[in-house]
Structure 1
Amino acid sequence: MKDSALSFDDALQRFLLDAQVLLTQAQECLQHLDLIENDPDACRGLDNALDSLARQAMHLDLREVAHYTTALQQLLAPACHGGCLQREALPAVGECLTLLAWQLELVDPFTGRLNLDIGEQLVLLGELAKVVQQPFAQTCTYCDEQGRVCIHPPGEAADDGSSSRY
């Protein structure tokens, strides 16, 4: 029987392989959207790839990747579902996916942590939010202290229950 460290290592390696496939799918959908604006299949594919990536990262408690991917998916979901992901938004989406690809390369293969400043994430997500005309809330105090993108609904307490957005 394997110990839990080996099990996590195996699961992390599987995740990183799956994540590359999902990221490639998301990038292909973005390229398709550049050719055919608001194509419903490409929008759905982009949304599904990001959603799956975020869920898998959450399942493994890869917080940094999970939070960033979830924030990205949540910003894009209304435009993808509403068929209004405008061509002008595609460069910002591309930059977000490029950062995600870079982050996946830098995930510690033993711990799953990504010890990076979230400043670039916040800038890119903020720019994307403007282009897709979606609100992008600032991080709550707890998430800011933890150095991660906040995905808590407004007014909901963060992980430790001690903070809110206000």
Structure 2
Amino acid sequence: MLIDDKEWHQSPDFLLEAEALLAKSVECLNHLNLIKNDRDAIDCMLSTLLKLAEKTDALALRSTAEFSRQVHALLDHSHPHPDMNEQILDTLGECFSLMAWQLELVDPVTGQLNLDGNEQATLIESLAVQVDPLPASLSCQQNSFNVFSIAKRNA
């Protein structure tokens, strides 16, 4: 969904605010690369991801907002927070790089963002498996079972 031109032009600082929030998330990530599992850095990253989702959602950049929320949810719903190992940190870096590209590609006049969601979906799936591999593998097994059951019924 796109916002109208009038609404977009009333928020010229949006991209600067979103870029600042993303930069703060990257700072938290860099901190976690130095000091593994620092709760303050994890909490900072989580709150910044929510703020970024709110900003992008307010201006109808739904894909970026949803991506930010999904990353937040994967990290926040792991109790305690997941072990921020190198693989998770690398994937988070890739997520933030994609978000940066999304913000860069927003048309500054219309606010339109045209993108293919495949890379976003791949990164979310990868992060989900790294954060909590057991439910993801169970989910795959259940999906395979359902497909098999439908195929068997149709035979």
- When normalised by structure 2's length, the TM-score is 0.77
Q: Would you identify which runs of 4 or more consecutive aligned residues in structure 1 move more than 6 Å?
A: none
Corresponding residue number in structure 2 for 1:60? 59
Cα 1:115–1:7 change in 2 (3 A) is: closer
Give ranges in structure 1 of 5+ residues lacking alignment. 138-166
Q: Deviations over 1:84-107 (max 9, x none)?
A: 342231001111111110111001
Give ranges in structure 2 of 5+ residues lacking alignment. 140-155
Cα 1:120–1:36 change in 2 (3 A) is: same
1:7, CA displacement in angstroms? Answer: 4.3
Identity rate, percent: 41
Q: Choose between structure 1 and 2: higher helix proportion.
A: 2
Indicate the larger mover: 66-75 or 93-102: 66-75
What is the RMSD computed on CA atoms of the aligned residues? 2.0
- When normalised by structure 1's length, the TM-score is 0.72
1:58, CA displacement in angstroms? Answer: 1.2
Higher RCO by CA contacts (8 Å cutoff, separation 6 or greater): 2
Corresponding residue number in structure 2 for 1:89? 88
Larger-gyration structure (1/2): 2
1:70, CA displacement in angstroms? Answer: 1.4
Cα 1:10–1:36 change in 2 (3 A) is: same
Q: 2:21, 2:52 within 8 Å by CA — same for their partners in 1?
A: yes
Which structure 2 residues correspond to residues 8-157 of structure 1 after superposition, within 5 A? 8-11=8-11, 13-79=12-78, 82-87=80-85, 88-133=87-132
Corresponding residue number in structure 1 for 2:146? none
